[in-house]
Amino acid sequence: MNYFLEIIKNNNLLSLGLAGLLFSLVFWRFTAGALIIPSLIAIILAVPISRKIKIFLSLVLFGLLIFFLTYYYLVWL
């Protein structure tokens, strides 16, 4: 457990991603989950995995973000 806390404490991008994810989940009614995908992108970029996987997952999540924003704009506005 201390190992994971040390990683979170020493990695600003991971801390920012986790904080955004927690904020979005706690205040779901106000944010409508808008911070979930950017927070997941920050977490993916902070985790030590291969660069190709990071780029692929970030692009997939960015595509989902664009899709949901377009869907929201076309359906709800």
- pTM, rounded to two decimals: 0.65
- For residue 2, the model assigns a pLDDT of 67
State pLDDT tens for residues 20-58: 777 777 776 666 667 777 888 888 888 888 888 888 888
**pLDDT at residue 1 is higher than 70:** no
DSSP state of 49: -
**pLDDT at residue 63 is higher than 80:** yes
Q: How many domains, in total, are found in the chain?
A: 1
**pLDDT at residue 67 is higher than 60:** yes
Phi, psi torsion values for 50, nearest 5 degrees:
-65, 155
Q: For residues 66 and 55, what is the distance between their CA atoms, to the nearest angstrom?
A: 16
Q: Which domain holds residue 16?
A: 2-76
Other residues' Cβ atoms within 10 Å of the Cβ of residue 40: 19
